[in-house]
Structure 1
Amino acid sequence: MSFSVGGLMLNESLIIAGTYQPGEQWADVRERLLGQGVSTLPKLASQTRALREVFDRIGHLSDDERHYLLTEADRAEQQAMIWLSVCRSYRFVHEFAVEVLNERFLSWRLDMGQEVFDLFLAEKAEQDLSLAQLSSSTCAKLRQVLFRILREAGLLSVEGRIQPVWLSGRMKRLIEESNPADLRVFPGNGG
């Protein structure tokens, strides 16, 4: 549940995607990026955690997806690609995207209050002891960060309504090459 660090972190993700070389050691990349001041977080420990988080997310994209992210995607598709990397990084977020966002969108229940997250977490906690052991403050932090990510990715309006994400044919094909089921994390793209 380390997605509680930051939000979508799009700018940091783009920088890391552009500097990461396959096979490069994380420690070398991290030191170089920290030296360049990539993160806007104030403390070195926060920067290190955030960069590790972003680096891990970017690692869940294929080389072709990373290339598309950097060279062809417009801002909205960059947000969508980073959202995809978040979903691939965290099973809980992926399940939330498919079981809550997509299902609510398909049934035209577009309002998304905090209680929707709380209910989903409670249902998952019945099946997963580690979720059941989370403190109420941790649950509140996870909810806050996930909703922030959803807004920053363009999936949730400021008013708390689910918004569809329209992907280009090229981006859809790239995602389908990796895993066609991943299209379901985008409301309006895969039933």
Structure 2
Amino acid sequence: MSFSLGGLMLNESLLIAQAYCSGETWARARGRLLTRSVSSLPKLASQTRVLREVYDRIGHLSDTERNYFLEEADRAEQQAMLWLAVCRTYSFVHEFAIEVLSERYQSWRLDLGYEVFDRFLAEKSETDPNVAVLTSSTCAKLRQVLFRILREAGLRNAEGRIQPIWLSGRMKRLIEESNPRDLRIFLGNGG
């Protein structure tokens, strides 16, 4: 549940994707990335957490997807690519995308308030012991960060309504090559 840190982190992700070395251990990457001042956070511990979080997310993109993210994608597609990385990194977020966002979008219930997240979390706590032990402050933080990620990715507008992300044909094909089921997290694109 370390997605409770930050949001989509587009700018940091771009810098880390440029520096990412496939297969490199986090221990080796850490020092190299810290010297590049990728994060503007003042404390070393905070910088390390952000770098590790983003590095982990970027590591869930294929080399081809990472190259597309850096060299071809426009800003909206970069945001969509990071949404994909977050969903691949965190099964909880992936499940929320499929079980809540997709279901609500398909049934035209486009409002997405905090109570929807709270209900989802309560349901998950019944079957997942890791979720069941979360404190109320941790749950509130997870909700806050997930809704920030949804807004920054373009999946939730300022009025609190779900909106689709439209992918280019090229990006759709890249995702299909890696895992066609990943398209389900992109409302209106096969999900």
Q: TM-score, normalised by structure 2?
A: 0.97
CA distance in 2, matches of 1:144, 1:23: 32
Amino acid corresponding to residue 98 of structure 1 in structure 2: I
Q: Deviations over 1:47-93 (max 9, x none)?
A: 10010000000000000000100111000000000010000000000
Q: How does 1:14-163 map to 2 (within 5 A)?
A: 14-163=14-163
CA distance in 2, matches of 1:119, 1:23: 38
- Shift of residue 41, structure 1, vs aligned partner: 1.9
- Shift of residue 139, structure 1, vs aligned partner: 0.3
Structure 1 gaps, min length 5: none
Which is further off, 84-93 or 157-166?
Answer: 157-166
Structure 2 gaps, min length 5: none
Amino acid corresponding to residue 93 of structure 1 in structure 2: V
CA distance in 2, matches of 1:123, 1:183: 24
CA distance in 1, matches of 2:142, 2:64: 30
- Shift of residue 159, structure 1, vs aligned partner: 1.4
Aligned partners of 2:7 and 2:145 also within 8 Å: yes
Aligned partners of 2:22 and 2:59 also within 8 Å: no
Cα RMSD for the two superposed structures? 0.9
Q: Which runs of 4+ in 1 moved over 3 A?
A: none
CA distance in 2, matches of 1:145, 1:128: 20
- Shift of residue 35, structure 1, vs aligned partner: 1.5
Amino acid corresponding to residue 80 of structure 1 in structure 2: A
- Shift of residue 166, structure 1, vs aligned partner: 0.3
**SS of residue matched to 1:126:** helix
- Shift of residue 27, structure 1, vs aligned partner: 2.4
Amino acid corresponding to residue 155 of structure 1 in structure 2: L
Amino acid corresponding to residue 142 of structure 1 in structure 2: L
**SS of residue matched to 1:7:** coil
| Residue in 2 that maps onto 1:184 | 184
Q: Deviations over 1:148-176 (max 9, x none)?
A: 00001111111111111000011001101
CA distance in 2, matches of 1:85, 1:120: 21
Count of residues in correspondence between the two structures: 191
| Identity among equivalent pairs (%) | 76
- Shift of residue 24, structure 1, vs aligned partner: 3.0
Which is further off, 87-96 or 34-43?
Answer: 34-43
CA distance in 1, matches of 2:154, 2:22: 29
Which is further off, 49-58 or 20-29?
Answer: 20-29
CA distance in 2, matches of 1:92, 1:26: 23
| Residue in 2 that maps onto 1:169 | 169
